[in-house]
Amino acid sequence: MFGLSRGSSFKPPKRKHRGSKDEEVLEGQPKSLLMQMLKQVKPGLELSKIPFPAFVLEPRSLLDKVTDFFKFPDLIFETIQQKTPEQRMLYLMKWFMSGWHLRPKGVKKPYNPVLGEVFSGQWDVNDMPNLADLHIGESGSDGSDASKKIFYVAEQVSHHPPISAFMFAGPGVSVEGHVYPHSTFQVNTIKGKMDGMFRIYLHEHDEMYVVTLPNFYVRGVLMGTIQQEIGGECTLTCKKTGLEGEIDFRTKSMFGSDEHNEIRGKMYKINDPKSPMYHIYGFWDDIMYMHNVEKNEESVFFDCHGGHKPAAIKTRPVDEQEYYESQKLWQDVTAAIVTGDMDKATDAKTVLEDRQRRGVKHRKEEGKEWAPRFFEPVKHGDNMKNWEWRYKYSDSLMNNGDTKIAPGSWYPPPAHADSMFDPGDSKELEKTPGSS
């Protein structure tokens, strides 16, 4: 089928990209506001401290955005069922690639979470027939359905640098990780670097996989059509099995790719990276293919249009949430963006940002250190950017899914608001939850 089937010389067949480009044309006031903001920024300056205008925002928090990685939970649970290390690595690579196409129209970024912000939710195995076929999450010995739940908790554990930690856990598998997004402006392009990692634990196999993340590019921010691309190399590594998967997100400008959103990847033994066992190629928002080197055969790896529907996470109703949970905290901003009132969205966003600044000032005056609620650091030196973040109840996750998220409940126990804001803000919010 293929003339070159071994090593890095493999050349996949040419295919046309059927997906849509992440691009947007800004005119009038939005274009003027963006240009005015960026003209004040020195080239190479990190943009994490620069407030972006509301019209570039996707109406949800980054803590919620991370759940896109987990909206095809059947793929990660199918991984557990695979008999060989090679097949488990391939299934994890498929899972990792499955959620990138879930994105809003145009070029948008999620809200930057405020310090102490929390987002949590769950998936129910009973709602997903494809998981029922795998017999995932049989009822517990007490007759409860606790083991049929898949949980997710995320928390903003640091503001400078902005670090979001998260945990995903279900029967036989758990994922811990953190993301540290930061961006710089260069001439006509914003480069977003997504530092951090995922640690995936397959408990039955006693395997841990470490996953790294790609970069993001927004081009044409001052001149031309604004376009977003994903670029850079990611790896999935399991030291126990000695296997590694590699995905290269190719961009037109950096690598001369003929098509938008193209990927190239391979799976190989860590000690022999020049002899891949499988090649992955195609488009991360269209169809991806796999080439089995030994058999010299091609098959569809993942089809973004193939009827594989994402499973949305379930959250509690907003009126039952604590006021610093993402959906409640940002509800005024979200409502304004959805209705197209960008002035109101900007005002509501400014209120939240001002509260956070007052909270920082209050803690400094009181000599208080911020302590995350659900996560603790695994320190590597003094630079927080190099730390890992561990879910405080990780040990219970290893013991058959007892998440300890709350006794008899899936939601975390309440915390004190004055750790986030100053006392005046806390009292105000307790009277009118979610108001701005």
366 versus 47: the higher-pLDDT residue is 366
In which band, very low, low, confident or very high, does the pLDDT at 21 lie, cut at 50, 70 and 90?
Answer: low
Instruction: Please say whether the beta carbons of 159 and 141 come within 8 A.
Output: no
The model's pTM is: 0.84
Distant-in-sequence, close-in-space partners of 283: CB < 8 Å, separation ≥ 6: 15, 17, 18, 19, 259, 260, 261, 262, 263
Amino acid at 56: V
Q: Which two tokens stand for residue 323?
A: 């006021």
254, two tokens = 């950096």
Length of the chain: 436
Residue-wise pLDDT for 118-173, tens only, equals 999 998 877 776 666 666 655 444 445 555 778 899 999 998 889 999 999 988 89
Say if CB 155 and CB 63 are below 8 A apart.
yes
pLDDT of residue 236: 98
411 pLDDT higher than 60: no
pLDDT at site 364:
86
pLDDT > 70 fraction of the chain, expressed in percent and rounded: 74
Q: What pLDDT score was predicted for residue 160? A: 84
What whole-number percentage of the chain has pLDDT above 90? 43
Q: CA angle, corner 126, sides to 123 and 130, nearest 5?
A: 90
> 161: cis peptide before it, omega within 30°?
yes
Q: Which of 288, 298, 286 is nearest to 264 (CA)?
A: 288
Report the pLDDT value the prediction gives residue 103, as an integer from 0 to 100: 82
pLDDT above 50 for 435: no
164 DSSP β-pair partners: 156, 179
What sections of 220-291 are H helices per DSSP? 252-255
pLDDT of residue 405: 40
Mean local confidence (pLDDT), 248-253: 83
With a cut of 50, say whether residue 174 has pLDDT above it. yes
